[in-house]
Amino acid sequence: MRRLKKILRDTCGAEIAEAALVMPLMFMVLLGIYWFGRAYNIYATITHAAEEGARAASAPSCALCGNAALLPDQIATTVSQVLVASRLDPNQVQPLAPTPALNDCNTGAPVTACTLPGGGQPQVCIQQNVQLNTGSTGPPACGVSVSFQYPYQFYLPFTSLNHQLILLKANGEMTAEN
């Protein structure tokens, strides 16, 4: 009986028991920081890609050559280059659903469809000649909207987020240059 009381009062193995409880929690927090950081990095990259696509679509191609608008494949190539630079797979890009609710700049009617590039290109939703400042009291600002979504899968064991697929949304708008 004395020996049992002595063992219960002794603290020789307490550090090991505490470490066995704390270490898994600490690693889970570190993994969470890493995976949420990666999700934020992907979100920032796809937002930048959408903005670059909108910038390319709104910029004049040639001031002396008739200023033709870029084709959807060329806009998608611009988006693809930004994604590849950050080591993201452009083939995983999906059109944003539902389509962003924007109005036509000339008629004011809602634009319900978007232009998609051809096969082999990231499937970005391109809406040209749309009003970007809907609801504003100022004059309408017309331009281009490029939007898409990109899948991201969390790997966070022992949580409800483990292997959960999340669609990160990106939308870039740019006023048209004359």
Q: How many CB atoms lie within 10 A of CB 171?
A: 17
The whole-angstrom separation of Cα 63 and Cα 57 is 15
Residue 4 pLDDT grade (very low, low, confident, very high; cuts 50, 70, 90): low
User: Long-range CB contacts (< 8 A, 24+ apart) of 149-155?
Assistant: 149/93, 149/94, 149/95, 149/96, 149/97, 150/42, 150/46, 150/88, 150/92, 150/93, 150/94, 151/92, 151/94, 152/38, 152/39, 152/42, 154/35, 154/39, 155/31, 155/35
Residue 64 pLDDT grade (very low, low, confident, very high; cuts 50, 70, 90): confident
Between residues 111 and 47, which one has the greater pLDDT?
47
Percent over 90 (pLDDT), the chain: 37
Tokens found for residue 163: 């292997």
Residue 178 pLDDT grade (very low, low, confident, very high; cuts 50, 70, 90): low
| pLDDT number for residue 63 | 65
Give backbone dihedrals phi and psi of 136, rounded to 5 degrees, phi first.
-85, 155
Does the pTM of the predicted model rise above 0.85? no
What does the pLDDT look like over 100-141, one tens digit per residue?
888 888 888 888 888 888 888 889 999 988 888 777 777 778
What does the pLDDT look like over 82-93, one tens digit per residue?
999 999 999 999
| pLDDT number for residue 163 | 80
What does the pLDDT look like over 5-29, one tens digit per residue?
766 666 667 778 888 888 988 988 8
CA distances (Å), 90 to each of 9, 103, 106, 133, in order?
62, 28, 33, 29
What's the mean pLDDT in 157-161? 72
Domain segments of the chain: what residues?
A: 2-175
| pLDDT number for residue 120 | 83
| pLDDT number for residue 154 | 80
Question: Residue 156: which H helix or E strand, with range?
Answer: none
